[in-house]
């Protein structure tokens, strides 16, 4: 069985865009409309000799009812089957209360968490990262999934944790 990496975060932070880059597919549904990916979505990321499964998830909106409750349940399943959690946040939105809620949920799993600060294209990377330093995570890296920047660093950070 290949190890599993789950992409988790609020809707619209760029999880599906990142999934497509990591798996080199256009399968995941990418849209400007938040919350489009309701189900978990699987692909394989290959890096040299190594491979791992990437799970794209619908966003945890913090609204724990109706369809969002189903999405949240899917996210929790993805967390439970993963060895590493990639917590995707949006550098343009900055740190939102929902992010803290999601991080608390991720922390409860006890699994290694990498914070991927996405949409840093056109921003000062150090400024963008500084806002998320309060997470206190060892691994926090800048990313631009849409421009395929930082994804090699993300893979390099992930592989030793698998």
In the complex, the residues that contact ligand GDP under the rule CB under 6 A are: 11-17, 30-32, 34, 37, 59, 118-119, 121, 144-146
Q: Which residue is nearest to ligand GDP (CB)?
A: 14
- In whole angstroms, how close is the CB of 139 to Mg ion at the nearest point? 22
How far apart, in whole angstroms, are the C-alpha atoms of residue 156 and residue 114? 11
Region of 117 (left: φ > 0; alpha: ψ -120 to 50; beta: rest) is beta
Q: Is 121 annotated as a binding residue?
A: yes
Q: Is 62 annotated as a binding residue?
A: no
What's CA 71's distance to the chain center, in Å? 15
Q: Which residues sit at the interface with Mg ion, rule CB under 5 A?
A: 15-16, 37
- In whole angstroms, how close is the CB of 49 to ligand GDP at the nearest point? 28
Integer-rounded Cα Rg, in Å, for the chain is 14
User: If contact means CB under 5 to 8 A according to the sort of partner, which of Mg ion, ligand GDP, none does residue 113 touch?
Assistant: none
Q: Is 60 annotated as a binding residue?
A: yes
- In whole angstroms, how close is the CB of 89 to ligand GDP at the nearest point? 10
Token pair of 93 as six digits = 């939105």
With CA atoms as reference, report the closest residue to 146 among 20, 55, 35.
Answer: 20
């Amino acid at each position: 069985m290949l190890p599993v990496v789950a992409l988790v975060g609020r809707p619209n932070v760029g999880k599906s865009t990142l999934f497509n880059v990591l798996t080199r597919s256009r399968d995941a549904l990418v849209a400007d409309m938040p919350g489009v990916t309701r189900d978990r979505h699987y692909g394989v990321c290959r890096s040299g000799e190594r491979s791992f499964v990437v799970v794209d998830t619908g966003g945890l909106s913090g609204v724990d009812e109706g369809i969002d409750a189903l999405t949240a349940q899917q996210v929790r399943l993805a967390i439970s089957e993963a060895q590493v959690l990639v917590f995707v946040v949006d550098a343009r939105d900055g740190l939102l209360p929902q992010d803290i809620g999601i991080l608390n949920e991720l922390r409860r799993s006890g699994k290694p968490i990498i914070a991927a600060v996405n949409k840093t294209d056109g921003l000062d990377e150090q400024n963008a990262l500084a806002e998320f330093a309060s997470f206190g995570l060892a691994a926090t890296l800048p990313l631009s999934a849409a421009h395929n920047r930082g994804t090699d660093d993300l893979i390099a950070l992930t592989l030793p944790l698998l």
